[in-house]
């Protein structure tokens, strides 16, 4: 069955995830939200020093947003922030050092932000991620892929929930991947060091968890006025893809999207009228998509997504906020 799922996924990807897929979809885009001035809106983007995260930060700054670029490396983050300022003419672009694989780093950033800023947070883009060639461990001893790609985004969003609730039409965007189509939702096993390491599969499992977490957080936080969605940027020509999947990047060549094309839907999700967004949906090219391929056997129920979020919040030392 896996070979059939993988073949179906690749055929779908060649139609929809490539530069050609973006160009076909973009022909029908209505750019109202992206043509407006969004001065006063505060947006935080993780992993903003390169790739689609950088391009999203730049596009948001160009449209008047105050942009917080959350990066693990101060040196690379400063260089990226300065480039955004230079290319957009906006001085309202700010670097914050935050390693999303570290619960301590997330708590430190969120605590300082809530204490010092007092500003409503219009949007949080959980973009930082990594496809790891070797197994690693986070500062708290968790599997590094899981900590970076699954746990960190949920922990950061939960820590920043007070600022999100204070912003009318707030939203959280999880940048997932089309690779999630190939995997079921697994609620355990991320710390099984005895299993052979497969970085590509671990990444896909994490990206499936992101989609499920977004569904459940949308149910919990929707009544609080916070939309939560996930999205796929498509197959884009980024440093991360070239480093992690060099063979794929070489084979795809010019069929890969530009990083800016990959970032388009991130920007749109941050700026579109919240009433027009579907909480819990998985977006590609500004439209909700099916979350499972036919005959893939990857379906799960709401209780599984709820159990996942409960586990994640528990690992992060957080409760589960409700509308009460």
- The residue written with tokens 């579109």 in the block is 272
Q: Closest by alpha carbon to 287, among 93, 108, 30?
A: 30
Residue with tokens 């070489």: 250
* pLDDT value of position 323: 44
Tell me the C-alpha distance between 55 and 35, whole Å.
Answer: 16
Q: What is the arithmetic mean of pLDDT over 276-296?
A: 97
Six token digits for residue 36: 């407006």
Residue with tokens 């912003």: 167
Q: List the end-to-end C-alpha distance of the chain, in Å, as a whole number.
A: 44
| Domain ranges, ordered by start, for the chain | 2-315
Which one of the listed residues 181, 203, 283, 300 is annotated catalytic? 203
Would you say residue 206 has pLDDT above 60? yes
CB atoms within 10 A of CB 301: 9
* Backbone region of residue 158 per phi and psi (left: phi > 0; alpha: psi in -120 to 50; beta: other values): alpha
Query: Which DSSP category does 91 fall into?
Result: S
Chain length of the chain = 324
Q: What is the pLDDT of residues 170-186, one digit of tens each?
A: 999 999 999 999 999 99
Backbone angles phi, psi at 236, to 5 degrees: -115, 150
Burial bucket for residue 247 (CB in 10 Å: 0-12, 13-18, 19+): exposed
Instruction: Calculate ∠ Cα 87-92-96, nearest 5°.
Output: 100
Q: Residue range 98-102: average pLDDT?
A: 99
Report pLDDT for 324. 37
- Mean pLDDT of all residues belonging to the chain: 95
50: left (phi over 0), alpha (psi -120 to 50) or beta: beta
Determine the Cα–Cα distance for residues 45 and 215; give it in Å rounded to an integer: 20
Instruction: Choose which CATH entry (3.40.50.720, 3.30.365.10, 3.40.980.10, 1.10.3720.10) describes domain 2-315.
Output: 3.40.50.720
Determine the pLDDT at residue 306. 98
pLDDT band at 4 (very low <50, low <70, confident <90, very high): low
pLDDT band at 1 (very low <50, low <70, confident <90, very high): low
203 is catalytic: yes
Listed residue (2, 9, 8, 270) closest to 124, CA to CA: 270
Dihedral (Cα; 37, 92, 267, 311), 10-degree rounding: -130
């Amino acid at each position: 069955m896996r070979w059939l799922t993988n073949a179906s996924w690749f055929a779908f990807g060649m139609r929809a995830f490539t530069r050609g897929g973006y160009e076909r979809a973009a022909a029908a885009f209505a750019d109202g939200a992206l043509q407006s001035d969004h001065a006063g809106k505060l947006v935080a983007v993780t992993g903003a020093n390169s790739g689609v995260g950088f391009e999203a930060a730049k596009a948001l700054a160009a449209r008047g947003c105050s942009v917080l670029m959350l990066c693990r490396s101060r040196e690379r983050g400063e260089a990226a922030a300065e480039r955004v300022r230079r290319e957009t003419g906006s001085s309202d672009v700010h670097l914050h050092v935050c390693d999303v694989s570290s619960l301590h780093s997330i708590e430190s950033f969120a605590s300082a932000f809530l204490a010092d800023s007092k500003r409503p947070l219009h949007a949080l883009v959980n973009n930082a991620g990594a496809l790891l060639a070797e197994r690693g461990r986070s500062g708290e001893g968790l599997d590094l892929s899981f900590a970076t790609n699954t746990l960190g985004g949920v922990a950061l969003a939960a820590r920043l929930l007070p600022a999100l609730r204070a912003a009318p039409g707030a939203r959280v965007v999880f940048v997932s991947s089309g690779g999630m189509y190939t995997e079921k939702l697994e609620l355990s096993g991320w710390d099984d060091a005895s299993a052979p390491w497969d970085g590509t599969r671990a990444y896909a499992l994490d990206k499936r968890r992101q989609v499920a977490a977004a569904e459940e957080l949308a149910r919990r936080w929707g009544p609080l006025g916070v939309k939560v969605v996930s999205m796929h940027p498509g197959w884009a020509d980024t440093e991360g893809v070239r480093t992690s999947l060099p063979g794929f990047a070489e084979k795809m060549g010019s069929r890969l999207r530009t990083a800016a094309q990959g970032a388009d839907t991130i920007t749109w999700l941050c700026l579109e009228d919240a009433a027009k967004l579907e909480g819990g949906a998985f977006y590609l090219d500004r439209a909700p998509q099916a979350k499972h391929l036919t005959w893939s056997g990857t379906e799960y129920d709401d209780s599984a997504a709820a159990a996942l979020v409960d586990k994640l919040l528990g690992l992060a030392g957080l409760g589960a906020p409700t509308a009460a």
